[in-house]
Amino acid sequence: MFFTAVFHSGKLSYFLYFCMPAKNLTGQEEMIIRSTYKAAGIVSSTVEAHFGLHINEARNAGETDLAPVPLACVVESVIDAAFWASLRKEEGRSPRISLAWLPPHSAGYPLVFGSRLPLLPDVLTKLAPGVEPAGIHLGVWHDGDELYIWGTTRALPSYCFVLEIVEPGLLVVKHRRFHGYGKFVNVAILKGDQVKVVDEQSGSMPDCPALLTSLLGFTGNSNWNDSVNVLIQLATSMRAHNRGGTLLVVPNHSDQWRESIIHPIIYSVVPAFGGLTELMQKNETVQSQAPWLAALSRAIESVAGLTAVDGATIINDKHELLAFGAKIGRAEGSTPVEKVILTEPILGGEANVVHPNQNGGTRHLSAAQFVYDQRDSIALVASQDGRFTIFGWSPCEGMVHAHRVDSLLL
């Protein structure tokens, strides 16, 4: 048995855990962690089960580039250290760190430290300024019952357990999209004493939009230029600019959507701008090269940036930009939308039928009205407070369905 504590200026720090050997099902010794962050213990077994299920399924399907399954005690210890680190500051800034559970030899071309560093909050805080850029992960592994930081990597095997510190007290458990680029798949979100575990079964709903299904990880084998995955990147970029915005996705074969827009459209785009479309039509050889990925990222940020302009940005399902700053109005002959069904893809979440005003402000109400009138379209709405909602028409329910997906976009 061993006990670890960290003292600063004669005071015991927040990070504190007990670890003792115990026998697992194979008769081998494993760690039992007693963390001081209660939520870490609550979610750890669920996270182990999630990764174990998907890694075993992939292995049985013949896949080889797979990460090790993180035991619950490992998950608990990593979350505990990261949580307390998130509440500290280095040179006045809170840490933003991504931790990945894997040995160095599974990390492609890793940067390995000359000496192992203990997995402690103060160590994470000190390292944070050097590993903040997106795509860099601190590698964490074990030697017996000791967890340590071995270096950094940008390459991860499939289903690698990743824990990201988003902001003080906000952590996200995620893994790389299987055989694909882009937004990682979120597994669980911890914010203070709140724990949200993503409900993978949400993707099996009859009216589930393809965008939500992909966010849940069910289309992880699709390519980066898949139209749904591009929408995911647009949604992520919209949320990141923190100004709120609305993106309407309309069918390319019809102009009926114009009936729900107030004219004249001050910022119409004529002819439609096809920068994203052209990039997505490149062949697979070009798509595998870094310049293409960089160009696609810039194009996505450009379109998402326009959603910060007051009004709605409009693209068609070929991702051609049609307008931005457009004002949504009720179509002639239509009635006001009176109710929407509101869901969030987390375990224990319930579907509620509410008035659109109860789901948000003017953006949400106008987006719900647009989808109510234009039922072959979808609307993506980002709030300044970080909330993100996908509006789509539900034929099964006969009403607009508002999917809260901010938990999936972190």
Residue 6 has pLDDT above 70, yes or no: no
The answer to whether the beta carbons of residues 93 and 76 sit under 8 Å apart is no
pLDDT interval class at 292 (50, 70, 90): confident
Please determine, for residue 287, whether its predicted confidence score (pLDDT) is greater than 70: yes
- Per-residue pLDDT reduced to its tens digit, 141-196: 999 889 999 999 999 998 999 999 999 999 999 988 665 556 788 999 999 989 99
Residue 219: the pLDDT is 43
Dihedral, 45, 48, 50, 55 alpha carbons, nearest 10:
-160
Question: Can you give the pLDDT at residue 271?
Answer: 94
Nearest CA-CA partner of 79 in 186, 156, 169, 183? 169
For the ranges 78-92, 207-221, 254-268, 345-359, the lowest mean pLDDT is seen at 207-221
| Alpha-carbon gap, residue 262 to 245, rounded angstroms | 17
Residue 404: which residues within 8 A CB-CB, separation 6 or more? Answer: 342, 343, 344, 387, 388, 389
Say if residues 338 and 321 touch (Cβ distance below 8 Å). Answer: no
pLDDT exceeding 70 applies to what percent of the chain? 83
Looking at residue 261, what is its pLDDT? Answer: 97
Domains of the chain: 2-197 (no CATH), 204-409 (3.40.1700.10)
Segment 305-345, tens digit of pLDDT: 999 999 999 999 899 999 999 999 999 999 999 999 998 88
pLDDT at 221 (0 to 100): 42
Element (H, E) at 394: strand 388-394
User: How far, rounded to the nearest angstrom, does the alpha carbon of residue 359 sit from its chain's CA centroid?
Assistant: 21
Which two structure tokens, joined as six digits, stand for 275?
């920068």
Query: Where do we find the tokens 């004002």?
Result: 327
User: What's the mean pLDDT in 370-399?
Assistant: 91
